[in-house]
Structure 1
């Protein structure tokens, strides 16, 4: 592993991704396997004025043991009140949140889907206040990934564990613009390029997007007339610019909740809470998921769709061209943070209020009235292919090519 790149990666995350402010608290959620990197990020944060850095450690192997061995089944319906208050208190104090997402994509294989579903639901109910604040950009947040042994071996199965981790680090450094010289300049240039496409999509203000490819996707998505396209960076209410995902290649908006019709076919596997869902399709009618299939992970897909009423609808529409750094790496990461930024994708569940004009100031009732979906979950799944065509249809019926052969026309 290149130590200079590692430090540069941590600095970009803290200084550009989080954009830590003087006297601000940073909460870092991290797998215990990634402790060394989390400590490096903490050190950089302190050196750049952080008031405090709070660590929230996670151990997915301990979670697996609990799922398999717990004798009291009702424990999976519970979420500790102290944990809820922990996040609520830091949100209310204006803390920034860094999430290190590095999951073994098959660690929950053989675990009860019912236990996972109930546990996920209980946790998401407990963290609803926290998640709503972040999805509304009321606090600065950033999600990144760091290699773990099991994840690296899934991505690079034909080499030793050590070589797999090294290869995954090299891939991460490449697709996050760390190994190409001035990383800060590269990220600033990338933000500008993304914002140009955001401006184009907002000027068109399409009423519909129509998706078609040879895999079987034939989907028509109605867009909210007040929808805003966003991408590359966000701003907190105090005006702090941050990047919520590193890497990020997408521009995104919200659909009209009841305006999605047709069938969409996945283009990459989805890691959903430690289980892979592969080769799946979803059919919509008047916005609602009415049918779904999967060659692998059907029960996991069912758990996702049936989590609550809102999980039967879409909350996000995101465009990523096929000719992009992660896609061009030809690596299947089995990690949504990376795979979603190699492919056009949709998200089941909650919509981002910021994708609606004035949405950040609307109540939940107002957002519901405007057709912005609400849910306990928000899960991206990949649909982009090399031959994907997307056509925008304006309010007056004009058809405009947006994607041809997997890439932006503009």
Structure 2
């Protein structure tokens, strides 16, 4: 039986996220979806709007074989071909439904570096600034397991979160955007964390369903050499198929000078990928209060109500602090009381305590928390 929530989600993606117009071309890329209903709805929906849909279906097992046997020549060729196709479209929807979230675990780091540098980054350097794009996950058994929920409950949660009232979310974010635009010094405290940095003169970007589904964050970037102190992330993170926990960074003048985790050797290999990997390209505050607990998926975890994320690696063009890297790794710290609490200050003013915003003009962001 067809689930009508799929049609609702397709409409959000086509109309709100991509603002698809007649005469445009849209690339729909799907990886390991358990069934084709969403892709079919997107194709039919794009055609009804007078657009031309292109579809690319990928399989993670096949992609693993490609990455594990990567050569520089092969990655440059694949990246060049996908970049050329991306340059022909005006919109992009990427849907990931990985059957095994650890499918890439064990691939040598140097092979993944080839993919990151010559394929993924080459394509994304065009897609991110030049197309109307959105990426999302799709509910699967493994995804539900990572969220520690039965599949049917997780599926209900997924559609509830992904089809939120993004217009209302955008309105609630406006006072936070204004405060961040006016701020210079940020101070953050939490168990094992005492961090300071500047966001002065870096653009501030609200996110309410345009590029990620689910959405709910306001992001900027630290001034590249301004971060000092220690941060201990209390949320596990999966990167290149490996789950890292107990991640702790020590910063000096913007650079991660010490990094430890459940796999200290591997995390330092990642941070040594290039010169920019030990500097941060993004700082963002999560504002989606329907997402409350981590599920080892960045698209959800970085939006958690009462959280923020800090990102070693590449900065976005929209909020550019000049840092360039082949990696972009969003790491999440939840400051709600049930995760140990914490405080956030803008220029000495307490803005958030234990995950709750304190000033009167930010109370709308506490709804549902």
What range is the shorter-chain TM-score in?
A: 0.7 to 0.9
Give the counterpart of 1:227 among 195, 202, 206.
202
**Residue of structure 2 equivalent to 1:119:** 112
Q: Is residue 248 of structure 2 the alignment partner of residue 253 of structure 1?
A: no
**Residue of structure 1 equivalent to 2:272:** 306
**Residue of structure 1 equivalent to 2:160:** 174
CA shift, 1:377, in A, is 1.9
**Residue of structure 2 equivalent to 1:96:** 91
| SS of aligned partner of 1:259 | coil
Provide the C-alpha distance between the structure 1 equivalents of 2:173 and 2:77, rounded to a whole number of angstroms: 40
**Kept in 1: contact 2:224–2:322 (CA 8 A):** yes
**Kept in 2: contact 1:268–1:278 (CA 8 A):** yes
| SS of aligned partner of 2:212 | coil
- Deviations 1:102-130, CA, capped at 9 Å, x for gaps: 34332344x14xx2443244343334343
**Residue of structure 2 equivalent to 1:107:** 103
| SS of aligned partner of 1:326 | coil
Provide the C-alpha distance between the structure 2 equivalents of 1:200 and 1:384, rounded to a whole number of angstroms: 21
Distance 1:249 1:200, change over 3 A: same
Provide the C-alpha distance between the structure 1 equivalents of 2:122 and 2:308, rounded to a whole number of angstroms: 29
Can you give the 5+ residue segments of structure 2 that lack an aligned partner in the other structure?
363-369
Q: Is residue 332 of structure 2 the alignment partner of residue 382 of structure 1?
A: yes
Provide the C-alpha distance between the structure 2 equivalents of 1:45 and 1:303, rounded to a whole number of angstroms: 43
CA shift, 1:175, in A, is 1.7
**Residue of structure 2 equivalent to 1:153:** 145
Provide the C-alpha distance between the structure 1 equivalents of 2:266 and 2:34, rounded to a whole number of angstroms: 26
| SS of aligned partner of 1:344 | strand
**Kept in 1: contact 2:127–2:133 (CA 8 A):** yes
**Kept in 2: contact 1:349–1:379 (CA 8 A):** yes
Provide the C-alpha distance between the structure 1 equivalents of 2:91 and 2:206, rounded to a whole number of angstroms: 19
Report the TM-score, using the length of structure 2 for normalisation: 0.87
**Kept in 2: contact 1:252–1:318 (CA 8 A):** yes
**Residue of structure 2 equivalent to 1:194:** 173
Provide the C-alpha distance between the structure 1 equivalents of 2:20 and 2:270, rounded to a whole number of angstroms: 34
| SS of aligned partner of 2:224 | strand
**Kept in 1: contact 2:345–2:351 (CA 8 A):** yes
**Residue of structure 1 equivalent to 2:45:** 44
**Kept in 1: contact 2:197–2:228 (CA 8 A):** yes
**Residue of structure 2 equivalent to 1:332:** 294
CA shift, 1:195, in A, is 2.6
**Residue of structure 1 equivalent to 2:309:** 345
**Kept in 2: contact 1:348–1:377 (CA 8 A):** yes
Provide the C-alpha distance between the structure 2 equivalents of 1:88 and 1:291, rounded to a whole number of angstroms: 36
Provide the C-alpha distance between the structure 1 equivalents of 2:13 and 2:265, rounded to a whole number of angstroms: 35
**Kept in 1: contact 2:16–2:210 (CA 8 A):** yes
| SS of aligned partner of 1:378 | coil
Q: Is residue 108 of structure 2 the alignment partner of residue 141 of structure 1?
A: no
CA shift, 1:3, in A, is 1.1
**Kept in 2: contact 1:28–1:98 (CA 8 A):** yes
**Residue of structure 2 equivalent to 1:319:** 285
Q: Is residue 323 of structure 2 the alignment partner of residue 373 of structure 1?
A: yes
Distance 1:189 1:254, change over 3 A: same
Can you give the 5+ residue segments of structure 1 that lack an aligned partner in the other structure?
158-163, 234-241, 357-370, 394-398
Provide the C-alpha distance between the structure 2 equivalents of 1:284 and 1:60, rounded to a whole number of angstroms: 36
- Larger relative contact order (C-alpha < 8 A, sep ≥ 6)? 1
Distance 1:83 1:66, change over 3 A: closer
**Residue of structure 2 equivalent to 1:216:** 192
CA shift, 1:8, in A, is 0.7
Provide the C-alpha distance between the structure 2 equivalents of 1:39 and 1:334, rounded to a whole number of angstroms: 28
**Residue of structure 1 equivalent to 2:125:** 132
Provide the C-alpha distance between the structure 2 equivalents of 1:390 and 1:125, rounded to a whole number of angstroms: 38
| SS of aligned partner of 1:332 | coil
The more displaced of 122-131 and 381-390 is 122-131
**Kept in 2: contact 1:349–1:374 (CA 8 A):** yes
**Kept in 1: contact 2:33–2:96 (CA 8 A):** no
**Kept in 2: contact 1:254–1:372 (CA 8 A):** no
Report the TM-score, using the length of structure 1 for normalisation: 0.78
Provide the C-alpha distance between the structure 2 equivalents of 1:134 and 1:403, rounded to a whole number of angstroms: 34
CA shift, 1:35, in A, is 5.2
